[in-house]
Every structure is written in C-alpha cells, then in structure tokens.
Structure 1
C-alpha cells in the first residue's frame, strides 16, 4: 500500500471562515440525505455519511440534530445538486459541485470567479469527461491491519487504498471505489466496527488528464479554486492540476 493520489487543494481563506463553510456544506448534505432517505441514519447510508463528516469536522451535536429536525419539516428548502464545468487559467479543468435552492443565483455566483480570474465556463460534458466520480472514505490507521483490511474490502468494491494526510498533517488511509459501490463499501467498513473519519463522493482526474504548471501559474489556478470554495452554494471544487 503506497501513498494515494490526491490533487492539490486551495487553503487560502481564514480558518474560522473555512470552518463555517464546512458546517454549511455538511448541513446541506444532511438536509439532502434526510429529504431523500428519511431521518433515521440506521437505514439511510447517505445520512450516516453526513453525520460522520460532521463528527470529523467537530460540528456540534446540537447543530446536527437541528439540521435533521429541520429537514424533516415541511418548510425546509429543497436543495438541488448541480454540477458546473469550466476552465481555470492555463487550461486546467474545474468541476464545481453545488447544492442550491436558487439556480439563477448559483450560476451567477459560479460564473463570477471564472470571469474575474481569467477562466471560462464550459458546456456540460466538456470537462467532466476528464474525471471519474468515486466514493472516497478516510480512516484513522491506528490499530488497523491495513493489509488484511484491503484484501477483505476488495470483494465489497474497493478499487484503491493508500496513505494520505489530513489538514493538520495527521496520517490517514484513503479508500476509493466506484460511486455505484459507495454504499456497499461503507456498509462493509461499518460491519467491521470501523467508524470512518469522513466519507464523500469525489471526482478524480482520469489517467493522462493531469496538467502540470509552474508554481506561479499553479497559484493562479488555486486562487480561482479558493474563490469558488468560499461561496455558500458550492459544496466541492475538483480540478486536474497536478
């Protein structure tokens, strides 16, 4: 098991602002999960994932319970997942995953950073064809027999497993599977009594599509990524910058 591939991330905006953004994103994930599968996490794998991500982000339990309760009510807004595609400066492909209750507002908010920072929006399929949607589950490796775990999970959809690090440099293990196998892999991990640090869908660049740039140009791309990530409607931003 080696170190697993991950694209570079933008980390420019302030920590307190980033934490608030993470809580907003997870709250929307909870609402979407409850609307789709009900408020019981034992029978709703998407809700279990959202709650796990909330714990990993140190989101207060009261916030989580409140989000579940609001999502069960009639007056809670319905969020629609919309994927926007574009190019950052220097031809780097960018996917912007949003959760919105107002598409007109969201598309304007997404277009603005591309226009301002030298990028451009793309038509549907123009950029996404360079990416594969996967399930990504992160574990704390402490106390785990990783070789045995890898062999056991292959039958449950595991495609790739490798070392990575968290935001504070802590060791983590990242497991990837096809998105269609996400729930099956999650269930297999939980059946072994392992609680994931996080579990989310991710778009990763296909082989041969990564774009290497000099550091100065790479920073221009990451500046665009950072600006997109700060918008409340944006859940995730993916790119093929090496």
Structure 2
C-alpha cells in the first residue's frame, strides 16, 4: 500500500481538501443523519454515529453542523438514503471501490458509470474487485503519539491486529466488528486519535507509474466530486519516486 498516505498529503497540499470542504461537510452530514436514524441519536450509545461524528470533527466540521445533522434524524427530517457499493477498474487495472449514499439509485449508477468511462476506467459487477480487499477497522495517530514500539504495544493491548508506522504517522488495524472497542481502548491509553473508521484494506495491490497515478487521481477526484459518493478506495501501489514526482507537479 505504498504511497497512500503520501497521496493524502499531496491532495491536502494542493488545496484539494480545502476547496471541497463544504462538499465534504455535506457528506459527513448525510452519514451522521443516516447513522442517527438507524440507531440511538446519542453517539455514546450508537457506535456508527460515534465514529461518524469523530471523523467529521477530525476534518474540523463545526459542532453546530453535527448537531443539526443529528436533529434531522430525530425530527424525522431529511431524505431516505440507500447505501450502495460500486466496484470497477481504473487506469492500469487498479481496483476501485465506490461507497455511495443516495436517494436515487438510477441517477447515482448512471453518474458513477459515466465517470469511470470518461476517466479511462470501467464499472464492474458487485464482487468484481471486493475479493482484493478486506473490511477492517482503521485508527490513525500522528507521529508524535509515540514511537513504533510503543504504538505496537498499545495496539496489542487494545486488541488490534496490525500496526503500520512511518514518518507520516501510525495506522492501526483491527477487525471491523471490534473498531468501537479498539478505538476506545486506544484513546484511553494514547489520547484522541486522528480518525477511527471502517475501511476497505487492499490484500492485493497494483503498481502504477507516474502517468498511471495521474490518471487514477483524476478518476478518484471526479468520483469524489459526486454528491452521492461518500468514499473511494483503490488498491494502487506507487514508488516513493513516483509520489515525489506527483507532488512536484
């Protein structure tokens, strides 16, 4: 999975996240409202809502926006959304999983298929690429949270399965069903994490050169610009040299 954290940093430096902040908040609001509708409106009693609120806060979403999204659910407001997963291939044969939340399945499917086609990819059937990923819980901490050894020990004590430490920070993996418990135990030991969420973790990766990464970035950004798309995950791998070239553009 080389290059994934660097790609996130590149997007941030290029102002991508800032430019899309209002769109990002809209996606968080949708997830928070759906989570609150499906369970208890109290984040402490609703693991999915707790994680949604945490991720929103990590991206500096205002408290008022978060509370408004929860009130929509408790007040019976807001549209009824359906969660859908799309799978396909991007440039260079990279596997792509698109998680969407929509009130119009036909519109979303059409938009996602069109985006794949325009950006050199192809939309596949459900299950066409999911076998190359596993559903996991992911908790991240900044570099200053501790050294690799101390983070590994804390993760083991919390019941996690794996830890990846680099100059960009620490990523702790656990079973998807253990995320709420593991993230809580880690926070008791290490303090507030940067994020805690369910993700698709690649088990098989596809390496790309600079041209492939440029094309893939355009595909992912186009998909993320769709209001119905919540998250896009790929299984790309790229060398440090390629990522440095991408960052320098």
Normalised-by-shorter TM-score class: 0.7 to 0.9
Counterpart CA distance in 1 for 2:159 and 2:209 is: 37
The aligned residue for residue 168 of structure 1 is none
TM-superposed CA distance for 1:190, in Å, is: 3.6
Are positions 1:186 and 2:183 aligned together? yes
Higher relative contact order (CA 8 A, sep 6+): 1
Q: Is the contact between residue 162 and residue 174 of structure 1 (CA under 8 Å) also seen in structure 2?
A: yes
TM-superposed CA distance for 1:18, in Å, is: 1.8
What per-residue deviation string (whole Å, max 9, x for no partner) do you get for residues 90-148 of structure 1? 21111101111221111111111111122111111111111111111112353547634
What per-residue deviation string (whole Å, max 9, x for no partner) do you get for residues 55-110 of structure 1? 21111111111111112122322322211001112211111011112211111111
RMSD over equivalenced CA pairs, Å:
2.3
Q: In 2 relative to 1, CA 30–115 (structure 1 residues): closer, same or farther, beyond 3 Å?
A: same
Name the one with the larger helix percent: 2
Q: Is the contact between residue 81 and residue 100 of structure 1 (CA under 8 Å) also seen in structure 2?
A: yes
Structure 1 gaps, min length 5: 166-170
Q: In 2 relative to 1, CA 216–79 (structure 1 residues): closer, same or farther, beyond 3 Å?
A: same
The aligned residue for residue 222 of structure 2 is 227
- Aligned to 2:127, what secondary structure does the other structure show? coil
- Aligned to 1:188, what secondary structure does the other structure show? helix
TM, length-normalised to structure 1 = 0.86
Counterpart CA distance in 2 for 1:49 and 1:194 is: 16
The aligned residue for residue 84 of structure 1 is 86
Q: Is the contact between residue 52 and residue 196 of structure 1 (CA under 8 Å) also seen in structure 2?
A: no
Q: Is the contact between residue 152 and residue 163 of structure 2 (CA under 8 Å) also seen in structure 1?
A: yes
Q: Is the contact between residue 155 and residue 162 of structure 2 (CA under 8 Å) also seen in structure 1?
A: no
- Aligned to 2:233, what secondary structure does the other structure show? strand
Counterpart CA distance in 2 for 1:158 and 1:213 is: 30
**Of the candidates 121, 126, 129, which is equivalent to residue 127 of structure 1?**
129
